[in-house]
């Protein structure tokens, strides 16, 4: 998943679907500042190609990212050479510092397989928050909202490429098995590739319990960025072995 072929067309495809990373960053900033008005540092977990980070770096004095995929992280580093983008698994990363806000959006949390994984990830994220810091997680679908056999299709174009994306989602135990087929046309010819994504259908209660377990009690907001809602928690814990990130000014 999320190899070089997908990284090369990722933003083109999602822009064609109406995704607006800058508008989403503005929305998330409002939610953060409504709970922590002086927030000045942000960590984006599973930051992908850095599209949100590009906007957040104009909104916060310090921004950093964490990304597991080498190909996606390479795109983020190319785009934002002055923004640290760390290699890391959301279940176990440790940057040795704290931030005013930590986000994990666009359903990246759904790629975890078990409730134990979910709890480990939220503990890792919460450990990077200052006391009173804000943790925002966008879930994958809840089990009751998943449509077995769902099919979606999109066509995207820019000056050099035409890309089609067709997805088919089925239920596999507690997980969504989403098969995605991409066909790319350029002046050099036509190529194609397939990705298989597995995302877990955690329940609302499992998310809320994991937030509470991490010392970061949360509320659930309907709608959110993509219709799947948002979980927003506030950190109650302080650690002596992790330092707060000092603001970085332009």
Given this model, what pLDDT does residue 237 score? 60
Domains of the chain: 4-142+203-244 (3.40.50.150), 144-200 (2.20.130.10)
φ, ψ at 47 (rounded to 5°): -80, -5
Confidence of residue 18 (pLDDT cuts 50, 70, 90): very high
End-to-end CA distance of the chain: 36
Other C-beta atoms lying within 10 Å of the C-beta of residue 210:
27
Contact between residue 199 and residue 111 where contact means Cβ atoms under 8 Å apart: yes
User: Per-residue pLDDT for 247 more than 70?
Assistant: no
Rg of the chain on CA atoms, in Å: 18
- Give the residue carrying structure tokens 């919460």: 126
**What residues pair up with 66 in beta bridges, in sequence order?**
45, 86
What is the DSSP code (8-state) at residue 111?
G
User: Per-residue pLDDT for 239 more than 70?
Assistant: no
181, exposed or middle or buried, with CB in 10 Å at 0-12, 13-18, 19+? middle
The 10s digit of each residue's pLDDT in 135-145 is 999 999 999 99
User: Closest Cα to residue 65, out of 41, 79, 83?
Assistant: 83
Given this model, what pLDDT does residue 249 score? 37
Q: Where are the alpha helices (DSSP H) in the chain?
A: 4-16, 21-35, 51-56, 70-79, 115-126, 204-213
User: Per-residue pLDDT for 9 more than 70?
Assistant: yes
The 10s digit of each residue's pLDDT in 52-94 is 999 999 999 999 999 999 999 999 999 999 999 999 999 999 9
DSSP 158-209: -SS-EEEEEEEEEEETTEEEEEEEEEEEETTEEEEEEEEEEEE---HHHHHH
- Give the residue carrying structure tokens 């640290």: 84
Least confident interval from 152-161, 216-225, 239-248: 239-248
What is the number of alpha carbons within 13 Å of residue 129 lying toward its C-beta?
Answer: 29
**How far is Cα 163 from Cα 161, in angstroms, rounded to an integer?**
6
Torsion of CA 206, 207, 212, 213, to 10 degrees: 60
Distance of alpha carbon 43 from its chain centroid, rounded? 11
Confidence of residue 1 (pLDDT cuts 50, 70, 90): confident
The 10s digit of each residue's pLDDT in 21-42 is 999 999 999 999 999 999 999 9
φ, ψ at 25 (rounded to 5°): -60, -40
User: Per-residue pLDDT for 241 more than 50?
Assistant: no
């Amino acid at each position: 998943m999320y190899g070089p072929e997908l990284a090369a067309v990722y933003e083109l495809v999602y822009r064609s679907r109406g995704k607006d990373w800058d508008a989403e960053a503005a929305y998330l900033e409002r939610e953060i500042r409504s709970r922590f008005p002086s927030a000045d540092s942000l960590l984006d977990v599973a930051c992908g190609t850095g599209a949100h980070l590009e906007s957040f770096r104009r909104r916060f004095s310090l921004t950093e990212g964490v990304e597991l995929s080498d190909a996606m992280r390479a795109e983020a580093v190319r785009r934002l050479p002055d923004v640290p983008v760390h290699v890391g698994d959301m279940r176990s990363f440790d940057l040795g510092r704290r931030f005013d806000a930590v986000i994990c959006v666009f359903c990246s949390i759904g790629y975890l397989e078990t409730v134990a994984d979910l709890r480990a990830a939220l503990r890792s994220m919460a450990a990077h928050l200052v006391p009173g810091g804000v943790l925002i997680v966008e879930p994958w679908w809840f089990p009751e909202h998943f449509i077995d056999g769902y099919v979606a299709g999109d066509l995207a174009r820019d000056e050099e490429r035409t890309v089609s994306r067709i997805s088919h989602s089925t239920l596999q135990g507690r997980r969504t098995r989403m098969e995605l087929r991409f066909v790319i046309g350029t002046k050099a010819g036509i190529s194609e590739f397939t990705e298989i994504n597995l995302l877990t259908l955690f329940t609302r209660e499992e998310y809320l319990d994991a937030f509470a377990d991490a010392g970061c009690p949360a509320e659930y907001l309907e709608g959110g960025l993509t219709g799947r809602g948002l979980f927003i928690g506030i950190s109650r814990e302080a650690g002596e072995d992790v330092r707060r990130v000092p603001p970085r000014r332009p």
